[in-house]
A and B are shown apart, each in its own frame.
Chain A
Amino acid sequence: MTRNIVHLRIDGFPVAVERLRDASLREKPVVVCSRHSPRSLIFSASREARREGVWEGLPLTKALRRCRRLTVLPPDERSYQQAGNQIMRLLERYSPLVESGPWGRFYMDMTGTARLFGSVHNPTFRIQREVANAMGLRNTLGTGSNKLVSGIAARVIESHGDLYAVPFGSEASFLSPLRIEILPAAHNQKDRTLLTELNIRWVRQLATLSAAQLVSVFGKRGILLQKQALGIDDRPVLPAQSKPFVLEERTLDSDTNDDKRLLGVLYGMMERACREMRIKNVLPRTIWLHIRYTDGMDITRRLRLHDPTVTDPLLFQKLKPLFLKTSFRRQCIRYLSLTFTDLILPPPQLSLFENMSQHYKESRLISALDKIRERYGNRSVQMGRTLHA
């Protein structure tokens, strides 16, 4: 059966969301970028900013040199998430199969909804209008028989508020005049270099080659290349499934490589997470520590806990070596996040012998702290190490 996949794309999503909050930002070069450090990279840029040569990934100092009247906004990931959720709810009215990709990209499977909404064009125009009017987010829409084609269709549209429908059967002819870089299969740096060296630059060139030919040079990936060149894509639209987790993250006011300060920050983050888990009455089986360095390099390490605990000092004994192992570079650290997953309910009975007295003392102390904080606020009592964090 022919599928109907719709792709909704909001270019520069973070900037678009910021503009919703502050109308005066419209028609101006705006970027989202954490301002705390002159070394920050641009996270999202408006069209006006791009026209001045300011793109995602450019260092802020350089961006300011290129465009002096640039407005710089700090990232507010929570509100982007909210806006994304709002769009999801809107889209879910039309189809149960909605998938949220990176910021501002959504796929929905409209197959079999014709009886409900009429032909696919009908609802897509409505969606576009609703997102544009109700939410005020200008967007582009692509439709096609699969995710690949609808995604590319939405991308090649020049101006906002347009829609590109690729009729079933014309996928290959839609793709053929485009450059091969548009195909996700050609994003692999090695293959892209090889394609250039083989003098293959356009999708149409790729499309004339047989699967056998492509496999003879690209191996297994050749099949994917050939499929994509012909506009074939079987991936289903997958609605997000969420597992419970507890997340604490922190972007530092100024980058640092001072272990003392970093451990203080980490302790504070862990304290808050532990408190949340104590309130929810869960224990974590797994900790994920994510570090981002000044130069943008990310490192994530995981730790499995054999005897899960939410008692701050005990957990920190495990967390500290994990941090020291993870932060092996000399470079300053900009961002830290701690995620606690595989949450389980605490066993009803505390272990009788293991470290009983110490554990007992520590947990009494922590619950006393919890009470004080509940009454007088989070900052009423602090561990010394978190003072300068």
Chain B
Amino acid sequence: MRFVHLHTHSHYSFMRGTSGLEALCRSVLHRGMDTVALTDTNGLYGLVFFLQIAEETGLRPIIGAEVVTPEERAVLLVKNKEGYVNLCRILTRKHCEETFMLSRDLIGMNQGLVILSDTLPFLKKLKGKADLYVELTGGQLNRSLLDFSKDEGIPPVATNGVYFLDPQDFHFHALLRAIDLNTKLSRLPLEEMAPASACLTTPDEMQARFPHVPEAFENTIAIAEKCVFRGDFQPAVSPDLKELDQGKPISSLRRKATDGALKRYGNMTPAVRKRLEYELEIIEEKGFGAVFLMVEDIVRQAPRTCGRGSAAASMVSYCLGITHVDPLKHNLYFDRFLNPGRKDPPDIDVDFPWDERDDILDYVFKKYGPEKSAMVANHVGFRPRAAVREVAKVYGLADNEIKQVTDRLAHLWYWGGDSVEEVVGHHPIFQGLRLHPPWPEILAWASKLLGIPRYLSVHCGGVVVAPDTLNAYVPAEKAPKGVRIVQWEKEQTEDAGLVKIDLLGNRSLAVIRDVLEAIRINTGEVIAYEGLNPLDDADTQKIIGQGDTLGVFYIESPAMRQLQKKTQRGDFEHIVIHSSIIRPAANTFINAYVRRLRGEPYRPLHPILDRVLQETYGIMVYQEDVSKIAIEMAGFSVVDGDGLRKTLSKKRNAKKLSIYREQFVRGCRSREIDMEVIEEVWKMILSFGGYSFCKPHSASYALVSFKSAYLRAHYPAEFMAAVISNRGGYYSTFAYISEARRMGLTVLGPDINASDRPYGGKGKTIRMGFMQLKGLKEKALDTVLEERERAGPYPSFENFMSRTHLDPSDIRIFIKVGCLDTIAGKRSRAELLWQTEADRQGQPDSAQISLSLFDEETVRIPSLGHYDLKTMLLHEVEILGFPLSIHPLELYRDAWETLDILPAREMENHIGKRVNMIGWWVTNKMVYTKQEKPMAFISFEDTTGLYETIFFPNTYRKYCSRFTPVRPYLLRGLIEDDLGAVSLHVEEMQFLGKRKGRGMVTRFQKLEDRALSK
């Protein structure tokens, strides 16, 4: 007996379906069926994955969706290609058009679709105009539906509206609904839930539910046989591009590339010509010319860009100005980017200054129109913190109790795929936290929630452009921000063969732009972005080699700076290596790398490795090393080598990977390579899982690193000001300000006449910008700046007040942070505040008692004196987010003054000694040891310098639950020198002083919490 489920939801029916696609497909097979229709609510969100999994498991997939509007509801199943296009169109309309009405829109667009519904008016409207069925769900004895089916002659079909796999999953479904509707389980309206019977039933069970309408049961098979479309996307996109290409594109690409080459190289050397010809040939053969032209056109809209990814290996991109690193000079292989065997379109990704990117996107959408272009989506899934928080809220726990758990989770940036229960149960950071019922239940549910998608958001830069209409490939929606997005995230978009370009925001490009502009204003010197190629500048190389690179693009993290200190190399070639070797899974290789670089002799695992990895000391550094080694050691073809590399970076890869592994082992064995060596090399290959970089990408980025390091070395004030103003670096604003001071710069507070919106830097000083003032209304700031622009600086407080007419709450901010000190005359900040408040009360509508009650002349401003230091600092923390007048550690001076403290700048002279140090938290990074034990690298600063510490597993276990970024630390431990990088191996940790200045600490804490949750 056969039966096909034609109405099935996966967890891509957001917050309704509970099951992942893999589990769903396997359960269908397990229950004795060989076909299933995936009909997620209002979308094809998981379609590409579904088709892939179906292929892997041998299941016959039917493509479909359930379209739900307040009035109507229907399941649409795709019979053929035309039906697929129609389904995409219907779904796009559903999401993008307010006037959408399913029955009306379907009339012209139902070709190739099977329609199941139980909405009677809907069925009546479409009767005779479409391939229509009456849907009988769950076997309910719905006489009226059945009668309707008979009377109208519309055949019935049996479904179960599946939302979960097993009956007991109903609770999970209810939980999802409660989270989605922001309510509690006991108040969940019945109509918002699927019935408890909506599980994946077996054919027998279904038959038992429909004893009275055998034809409804049989019709499922008939429908399944009609639906033959399997979504053969692969050839769907490229041929059209090829058509485009057969006309002009390749010739105009050739022309532009040649022009560009002349500009870049001056004259055409044979090597350049040969490479260019080779690349153009492949591009022509593949029909990707149009893609290059499209990107070239986009890049031309902005003067400062940085090509990322493998595209930097292409001389065509270099000549077109898409990338800026010479692939010949730096030995970048084109094959990694495009090779004759590659079928899918190449990735060409470009970075723009973060604040110019939206304009670029607008340009693209304007040029190609909403029909052809959209952005890639993100499927935002539950992460541990949100999962715990949401479940706990459904359980009705108080916020502060939930925070106890979620705040600790926030510290764990690295999540090893464990369940929430395991982590909370075993990780030392949860030590001492007693979790009473119902917590165990909550954590168990939270574990189940991990990874389940919740909603769509906009991918940070992925743009899809289709040759004809995008709707023929994928449904689109409107994101809350207003842009159109496709329903797939990056991986599915790529797998479906759509042309995707990443246009990403990059803060450092904006930093460079702002510094160059500041230099022009301050010194009159004009430096062009393209002309800035300081690869050989001695000062730049020096600071890079010393790791003095806070604020410098891409090489500012503690790990990177430690690596720089160990290697002492500041030349371009090494920076390219270093930007690639720093990746999560490569820790063990880094130290080997440093030792080899310092000349330690080593024995290569295999001579082939040594040959292939010559420039990186026999260590696999770049992504393409994986392909190269597979080719050289195991005889992979170029296509297979590339396939292996690609598979490593994908999430669902276990199966494919095991096939590649077999192929690899077989290939190596045939070359008589030892099994031990094979295992070692395979382990190295696996370390490229997650994210890793290719050499062209690193080279492209390293160039930007050099530009920004050059500016840091020669224009420190302008540079640091721009770094802070553009935000979003690795460190907090406070850390950059401390660094600026260590660089010998003076950081001045904001001033009403001297400050601008961003930070300003000149000579030896940095002037804080108004952007730092939290709570200040944007409009108020505009007024102040415009008025100053119009009629010059404000000479006095009265003048300021009368010219700007600001809201008192904004004036208060200016006063409290000292912006108005220079125009206050003899008055203190408190007295200015008094005057502001008095003015406010004096306004007729705000006070019931008018001043006329009293003799007006007697109302004079009392003398209130100046704030004490503590109040001033409190105000600074409140408004700026950190104390500016003094270092926070100074507040605790009496607690550490009498102790024997080693200042950070003298660490190098005390290697091997046990010392006490004080510290203010800068940043941290938690990692796992080989034994899967957590430990942490934490950067602290004292008043003399920034320093690194290591908390090994034992110390980490002891102290991690007390880590906080806002208290002063007293650390005791051993100073060690690891290949030139000095750090403190902490043995004991405590806090300095009592919780003095508690108000400040808590306010600081709130700010930091927000920063952490970003």
Give the distance in Å from the alpha carbon of A296 to the alpha carbon of B833 in the complex: 36
Q: Which residues of A contact B854 (CB under 8 A)?
A: 210-212, 215
B398 contacts A216, C-beta separation under 8 Å: no
Q: A196-B871, A199-B830 are in contact. Are A215 and B849 (CB under 8 A)?
A: yes
Interface residue tally on B, bucketed by range: 35 or more
Q: A196-B871, A199-B864, A216-B838 are in contact. Are A258 and B833 (CB under 8 A)?
A: no
A251 adjacent to chain B (CB < 8 Å):
no
A39 contacts B184, C-beta separation under 8 Å: no
Q: Which residues of B contact A210 (CB under 8 A)?
A: 854, 858-859
Give the nearest-CB partner of A261 in chain B: B186
B828 adjacent to chain A (CB < 8 Å):
yes
A52 adjacent to chain B (CB < 8 Å):
no
A208 adjacent to chain B (CB < 8 Å):
yes
A330 contacts B183, C-beta separation under 8 Å: yes
Interface size on A, residues (CB 8 A): 38
* Partner among A196, A200, A294, A324 whose Cβ is within 8 Å of the Cβ of B398: A294
- B137-181 vs A, CB cutoff 8 Å, 1 = contact: the mask equals 000000000000000000000000000000000000000000000
Q: Taking the nearest CB of chain B, how far is it from the CB of A197, in angstroms? A: 6
Give the distance in Å from the alpha carbon of A374 to the alpha carbon of B823 in the complex: 83
Q: Which residues of B contact A352 (CB under 8 A)?
A: none
Q: Which residues of B contact A38 (CB under 8 A)?
A: 434, 436
A-B contact sample (10 more), CB < 8 A, given A200-B864, A295-B400: A198-B833, A199-B867, A208-B862, A210-B854, A218-B841, A219-B846, A259-B187, A294-B401, A324-B187, A330-B182
* Partner among A197, A324, A330 whose Cβ is within 8 Å of the Cβ of B830: A197
Q: Which residues of B contact A294 (CB under 8 A)?
A: 396-398, 401
Give the distance in Å from the alpha carbon of A61 to the alpha carbon of B439 in the complex: 15
- A193-210 vs B, CB cutoff 8 Å, 1 = contact: the mask equals 010111110000000111
A199 contacts B865, C-beta separation under 8 Å: yes
Q: Which residues of B contact A255 (CB under 8 A)?
A: 396
Q: Taking the nearest CB of chain A, how far is it from the CB of B717, in angstroms? A: 33
B393 adjacent to chain A (CB < 8 Å):
yes
Q: Taking the nearest CB of chain B, how far is it from the CB of A339, in angstroms? A: 24
Q: Which residues of B contact A260 (CB under 8 A)?
A: 186
Q: Taking the nearest CB of chain B, how far is it from the CB of A374, in angstroms? A: 34
Q: Which of B843-871 contact A (CB under 8 A)?
A: 846-849, 851, 853-855, 858-860, 862, 864-867, 871
B806 adjacent to chain A (CB < 8 Å):
no
B436 contacts A216, C-beta separation under 8 Å: no
- A283-325 vs B, CB cutoff 8 Å, 1 = contact: the mask equals 0000000000111100000000000000000000000000010
Give the distance in Å from the alpha carbon of A198 to the alpha carbon of B864 in the complex: 7
B229 adjacent to chain A (CB < 8 Å):
no
Q: Which residues of B contact A61 (CB under 8 A)?
A: 434
Q: Which of A209, A218, A259, A331 has the most CB of B within 10 A?
A: A331
Give the distance in Å from the alpha carbon of A217 to the alpha carbon of B401 in the complex: 40
A257 adjacent to chain B (CB < 8 Å):
yes
B858 contacts A332, C-beta separation under 8 Å: no
A179 adjacent to chain B (CB < 8 Å):
no
A212 contacts B849, C-beta separation under 8 Å: no
Give the distance in Å from the alpha carbon of A383 to the alpha carbon of B598 in the complex: 84
Give the distance in Å from the alpha carbon of A256 to the alpha carbon of B867 in the complex: 49
B399 adjacent to chain A (CB < 8 Å):
yes
Give the nearest-CB partner of B999 in chain A: A196
A213 adjacent to chain B (CB < 8 Å):
yes
Q: Taking the nearest CB of chain A, how far is it from the CB of B860, in angstroms? A: 8
B963 adjacent to chain A (CB < 8 Å):
no
A220 adjacent to chain B (CB < 8 Å):
yes
Q: Which residues of A contact B867 (CB under 8 A)?
A: 199
Q: Which residues of A contact B816 (CB under 8 A)?
A: 197
Q: Taking the nearest CB of chain A, how far is it from the CB of B877, in angstroms? A: 14
Q: Which of A252-278 contact B (CB under 8 A)?
A: 255-260
A219 contacts B838, C-beta separation under 8 Å: no
Q: Which residues of B contact A215 (CB under 8 A)?
A: 841, 847, 849, 851, 853-854
* Partner among A59, A216, A219, A257 whose Cβ is within 8 Å of the Cβ of B859: A216
B394 adjacent to chain A (CB < 8 Å):
yes
Give the distance in Å from the alpha carbon of A289 to the alpha carbon of B394 in the complex: 23
A217 contacts B851, C-beta separation under 8 Å: no
Q: A259-B187, A330-B396 are in contact. Are A199 and B828 (CB under 8 A)?
A: yes
B841 contacts A332, C-beta separation under 8 Å: no
Q: Taking the nearest CB of chain B, how far is it from the CB of A64, in angstroms? A: 10
Q: Which residues of B contact A333 (CB under 8 A)?
A: 396
